[in-house]
Chains A and B, each alone.
Chain A
Amino acid sequence: MSSDAIPAALVRRLRIASGISDEDIKAIHALPFSVREYPAERAVVSDGQRATECCLIVKGFCARSKTTSEGRRQILSIHIPGEIPDLMSLHLNVMDHDLMTLTPCTLSFISHDALRLLYRRQPNLADLLWRDTLIDAAMFREWIVNVGQRPAPARLAHVIVELRERLKVIGRIEGNSFEMPLTQEQIGEALGITAVHANRVIKQLRHDGIVALHRGRVEVLDDGKLLELAGFDGRYLHLSPAL
């Protein structure tokens, strides 16, 4: 893989969301990336572990989750290429949740030392990545509202619309269809419901002609109905330097 291809999705997103300069793009390309392949459903970094590097997703999907003492897992977020889901480990030394792959992934690791050096040399870039972690926090706020306040069909609709908006930024939408590689059980864990309830919600959305979920892909059947059900307002994604 060419060194430019590794951070391509990250650069694309930062251009759109934060207006990154050419000089900062050059500095990102010069980072010492260590690329590793992961199989699906494998831990990348686990709750309680001390991290020494951050992970940039090059290819594939990841998720962050936390498991209660009774063994119930809550999926906290879904991550796509161009994201650095454990960027906070640069300042928070011991992981307080798990990061795992959902699909086979190409992950690119950047040592904390290299990131610290980059921050010192390019303070602009430090600001951009700080903004990135703040957007991450905004997405968590929306996730809490979703799981805490919306009925299950609206929860699923919201997760679907958000994922589509984020995939759009990195050019990963094909017509009215895109990848959402979560099993029925994982959808349940993301929405805070059982796998059987998730199955029921998936069937309802299909029956109502809103979306069809099949083999890890979403096909949008009626965009207007989907947006209405989700009650989606994308401001919290801050997908423009003006937002």
Chain B
Amino acid sequence: MPRFHFHIEENGRLIPDEEGQEFLDGDKVRKEAIATGTSIARDAFMTGSACRVVVDVREENVPFMKVSITLDVEEKAEG
């Protein structure tokens, strides 16, 4: 089974995934990457620790997929 590593970047700070995980198909990898990115982004956006989260998925060090989530808040003067 192919092994995938999910490296996280928060505002450009890299948190490497040394262990990695095995997945049967690409669709499961995609779901895992999105679930990981959105749940990390939720915490980071709420605490204000970052406004951009990237999940850089690699299959044995070869880029496989990148999921980017950016916070974009537009504050209106009256609000």
Q: Which residues of A contact B (CB under 8 A)?
A: 151-153, 184-185, 193-197, 199-200, 203
Contact = CB atoms under 8 A, between A and B. Distances in A.
Interface in B37-75: 39-40, 42-43, 46-47, 55
B32 A194 contact: yes
A193 B39 CA distance: 7
B40 A184 contact: no
Interface-centre pick from B17, B32, B43 (highest chain A CB count, 10 A):
B43
- Chain A binding surface, main DSSP class: helix
A194 B53 CA distance: 15
A196 B36 contact: yes
Given A151-B46, A200-B15, A203-B15, A195 B40 contact: no
Nearest to A194: B36
A199 B17 contact: yes
A108 B17 CA distance: 39
B43 A194 contact: no
Binding site of B, secondary structure by majority: helix, strand, loop or mixed? helix
B19 A184 contact: yes
Return the 5 tightest CB-CB contacts between A and B, nearest first.
A196-B6, A194-B36, A196-B36, A151-B43, A197-B39
A152 B35 contact: no
A132 to B, nearest CB: 34
B21 interface: yes
Contacts of A203: 15
Nearest to A191: B39
Interface string B14-44: 0101010100000000001001100110110
A189 to B, nearest CB: 13
Contacts of B42: 151
Nearest to A70: B31
Contact of B39 (A152, A153, A184, A199): A152
A197 B36 contact: yes
